């Protein structure tokens, strides 16, 4: 088990910078790192096509991938701790299904109100994730006033099934938009701009301030809900706060990048193996690893079948399942 010492932090920071630069330089057109850095820091002519690719296409896209990767891992790590369930994730709770339903509805109906800063897909995804969270908590409260883990997960599974069948129904009727919907369902970073990056960054900063400042409570939840209550954690209030943070963050991620599976489930597991279960170190390490992982996944999408692009969800699921089996077998043996 690694300790979160300065060596480890430096290693992760270096890996992050290396991967970032690699992703900016590589793609359908290879750009030399010196030129890329030049373009990034404004040493190249503004009109240059390379500068244009770097600044307006690759950098915002790579930033979005990093932010989504970090956000999904953070959501996964906090849900796994809060629900004391290693299989929990934004998707297990049904939040990502709800966000997907909202986004698919916006795409299929062709709603295109750019009147506000955000487009309709974003607004509907966040609204659906948030309203879903209110509904799930409302119903769970009725069934069980302590908001217990099992009830929440059960509700999540039930609702995911419902949302997925609604999405299938929408696809069946949306003949003209079917390609857009399907591609989006597998997730993609194509054409993401600075506006998207800004939106993601705001959501991530807001959510991570709340979640990281409740690391101790997450530790208590991960040991057990009753134990958390007995040592003085305000279980209901903090659980509510965490669920709100996660649902907003998931909503924003899904609206920008589509539904990207496996990241929130897999990355926290890897982080846990590296640092242990203490959320003081687990959460920051999950953030960093999630960002690195999704940048690489997005890079692979762009280069495997040049000039075409693969949906990022395909890459994350393939890589995720292989990695997961490897980790599972290796650590079950030990």
Partner 1 sequence: MILEAKDISVSLGGASILRGIDLDVGDNQWLVIIGPNGAGKTTLLNCIVKGVTYTGLIKLSGADIKTLKPRELARRVGFLAQMKFMDYSFTVEEIVRLGRYAHEKRGIFEFGAQNTESQATVDDALRLTGLTHLKNSSALTLSGGELQRMFLAQVLAQAPNLLLLDELSNHLDLIYQKRIFSLVREWVRSPGRAVISVSHDLGVAKYYADDAILLNRGELIARGMGDVFDAKTLSLAYGMDVRAWIKKLYETWV
Chain residues that interact with partner 1, rule: CB under 8 A: 81, 84-86, 145, 209, 212-213, 215-216, 219-220, 222-224, 226-227, 229-235, 272, 276-278, 280
Task: Give the integer Cα–Cα distance in Å for 224 and 83.
Answer: 9
What's the min distance (Å) between Cβ of 230 and partner 1? Answer: 4
Question: In the complex with partner 1, which residue's Cβ is closer, 154 or 169?
Answer: 154
Question: In the complex with partner 1, which residue's Cβ is closer, 42 or 224?
Answer: 224
Task: Give the integer Cα–Cα distance in Å for 71 and 77.
Answer: 10
Question: In the complex with partner 1, which residue's Cβ is closer, 57 or 223?
Answer: 223
Closest to 301 measured CA to CA, from 186, 208, 197, 198: 186
Q: What share of the chain is helix, strand, coil (3-state, %, to 5)?
A: 75, 0, 25
What's the min distance (Å) between Cβ of 43 and partner 1? Answer: 36
Question: In the complex with partner 1, which residue's Cβ is closer, 81 or 313?
Answer: 81
Question: In the complex with partner 1, which residue's Cβ is closer, 193 or 234?
Answer: 234
The DSSP annotation for 85-137 comes to -TT--TTTTTHHHHHHHHHHHHHHTT----SSSS-HHHHHHHHHHHHHHHHHH
Per the structure block, which two tokens stand in for 197? 């990056």
Question: In the complex with partner 1, which residue's Cβ is closer, 35 or 216?
Answer: 216
What's the min distance (Å) between Cβ of 223 and partner 1? Answer: 6
Task: Give the integer Cα–Cα distance in Å for 295 and 301.
Answer: 10
What's the min distance (Å) between Cβ of 222 and partner 1? Answer: 5
Question: In the complex with partner 1, which residue's Cβ is closer, 72 or 235?
Answer: 235
What's the min distance (Å) between Cβ of 77 and partner 1? Answer: 11
What's the min distance (Å) between Cβ of 263 and partner 1? Answer: 20
Alpha carbon distances (Å) from 244 to 74, 95, 104, 156, 206? 13, 10, 22, 15, 11
What's the distance, CA 322 to chain centroid? 19
Task: Give the integer Cα–Cα distance in Å for 104 and 121.
Answer: 8
What's the min distance (Å) between Cβ of 332 and partner 1? Answer: 13
Question: In the complex with partner 1, which residue's Cβ is closer, 54 or 82?
Answer: 82
Report cis status (omega within 30 of 0) of the bond before 307.
Answer: yes
What's the min distance (Å) between Cβ of 214 and partner 1? Answer: 9
Task: Give the integer Cα–Cα distance in Å for 313 and 289.
Answer: 17
What's the distance, CA 312 to chain centroid? 12
């Amino acid at each position: 088990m690694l300790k979160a010492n300065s060596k480890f932090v430096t290693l992760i920071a270096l890996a992050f910078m290396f991967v970032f630069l690699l992703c900016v330089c590589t793609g359908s057109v290879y750009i030399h790192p010196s030129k890329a850095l030049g373009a990034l820091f404004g040493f190249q002519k503004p009109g240059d096509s390379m500068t244009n690719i770097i600044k307006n296409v690759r950098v915002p896209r790579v930033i979005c991938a990093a932010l989504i990767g970090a956000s999904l891992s953070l959501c996964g790590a906090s849900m796994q701790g809060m629900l004391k369930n290693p299989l929990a994730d934004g998707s297990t709770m049904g939040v990502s299904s709800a966000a997907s339903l909202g986004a698919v509805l916006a795409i299929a109906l062709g709603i295109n109100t750019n009147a506000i800063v955000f487009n309709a897909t974003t607004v509907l995804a966040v609204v659906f994730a948030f309203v879903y969270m209110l509904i799930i908590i409302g119903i769970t409260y009725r069934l069980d006033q302590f908001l217990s883990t099992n009830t929440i997960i059960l509700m999540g599974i039930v609702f995911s099934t419902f949302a997925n069948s609604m999405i299938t129904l929408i696809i069946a009727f949306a003949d003209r938009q079917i390609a857009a919907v399907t591609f989006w369902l597998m997730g993609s970073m194509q054409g993401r701009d600075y506006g998207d990056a800004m939106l993601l960054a705001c959501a991530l900063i807001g959510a991570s301030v709340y979640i990281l400042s409740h690391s101790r409570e997450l530790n208590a939840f991960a040991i057990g809900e009753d134990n958390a209550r007995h040592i003085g954690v305000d279980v209901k209030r903090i659980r509510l706060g965490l669920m709100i943070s996660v649902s907003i963050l998931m909503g924003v991620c899904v609206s920008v990048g589509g539904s990207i599976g496996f990241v929130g489930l897999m990355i926290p597991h890897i982080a846990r193996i590296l640092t242990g279960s203490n959320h003081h170190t687990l959460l920051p390490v999950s953030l960093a690893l999630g960002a690195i992982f999704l940048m690489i996944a997005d890079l692979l999408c762009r280069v495997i079948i040049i000039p075409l692009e693969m949906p990022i969800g395909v890459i994350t699921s393939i890589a995720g399942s292989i990695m997961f089996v490897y980790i599972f077998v290796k650590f079950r043996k030990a």
